[in-house]
Amino acid sequence: MSSILGNDFFFIPLFGITVFILAYLTSDRILEFFHKKSLGNRKIIIDLMDRMFFDVDKKKITTIMLLSSFGLGVIVFLIVWPNIWIGLLFGGVVTVLGWSAPKWVMESMWERRCTLLTNQLVDGLTIMGNSVKAGQSLNQAMERVVENMKGPLAQEMSLVLNKIRLGMSTEESLNEFAERIPRQDVQMLVTSVNILKETGGNLAETFATIVTTVRERQKVEKKIQALTAQGTMQAIIITLVPFVILGVFLLVDPNYVMPLFTRPLGWVALALMLALQTIGLVVMKKIVTIKV
């Protein structure tokens, strides 16, 4: 067996056949994985940009994603040349991260937008409640919000009114609003308005109740953020410490840490370190993330 494995004439074809069989058996999963990580991310980004009322150019988005992934991966590979294996390792990591980074950025922007809209609900519902008390209809109350406010709430209310003008019912347009903004406060507003339109009731009092509920929820969320701020900072610091120490050693005594980049055992140690750091960061983030 050792003589067969030591002979390239037998080993290379055996290795190629093994890789071919494994690739053939798992081809569907591999293709599905790459489709999800490539075109799937692109679709999510386009959908989020459309929800945030950005002008969407699919070709530009594709170009940006290719440059931020394969472009940066090639640059990293050329930087560490002629270390091919290290270049493939770090280039592959940068490519995967670069392809996922735009999605993370857009999701972060979307979460901030939803949070800002929820914060604006207090002022928006106050305006709508005062309008209803003055004898105006629900649509006129939403128009007052569009006229007197800026930001995501005014944009969403304007979209709701435009759909109503185009013939869509108020209930359907509000339901679409709740689908676009998956927050409990928005769901509560839409459900309350739709129920009152069917059964009758005092919209002004309902808006006042929702305002009180949203304010109390925001107080609890801010208190939780203050209590978990220390844990969040600790998670960030603990995650960055190994990379900072590695950078310091590279500047002070490169020969001391070069085996990590030049030997197979060092590559395994780096891969293990990255995996453990990622797992630790995800676990700590879940611990300090408390949903209200």
Letter for the amino acid at 48? Answer: L
Helix axes 152-165, 170-180, angle to 10 degrees: 150
3-state secondary structure of 201: coil
227-240 mean pLDDT:
79
Rounded distance between C-alpha atoms, residue 197 and residue 171, angstroms? 9
Q: Compute φ and ψ for 50, nearest 5 degrees.
A: -65, -40
pLDDT of res. 28: 57
Render pLDDT for 170-226 as a digit per residue (tens, 0 to 9). 888 888 888 888 888 888 888 888 888 777 778 888 888 888 888 888 888 788 777
Dihedral, CA of residue 198, residue 203, residue 209 and residue 210, to nearest 10: 70
pLDDT of res. 42: 77
271-282 mean pLDDT:
82
1-6 mean pLDDT:
46
pLDDT of res. 145: 87
Render pLDDT for 86-110 as a digit per residue (tens, 0 to 9). 677 777 777 777 777 788 888 888 8
* pTM for the whole structure: 0.67
pLDDT of res. 201: 73
Cα-Cα-Cα-Cα dihedral sign, residues 51, 55, 59, 60: negative
Rounded distance between C-alpha atoms, residue 181 and residue 112, angstroms? 12
240-264 mean pLDDT:
80
Dihedral, CA of residue 27, residue 30, residue 36 and residue 38, to nearest 10: -100
pLDDT of res. 12: 58
pLDDT of res. 5: 44
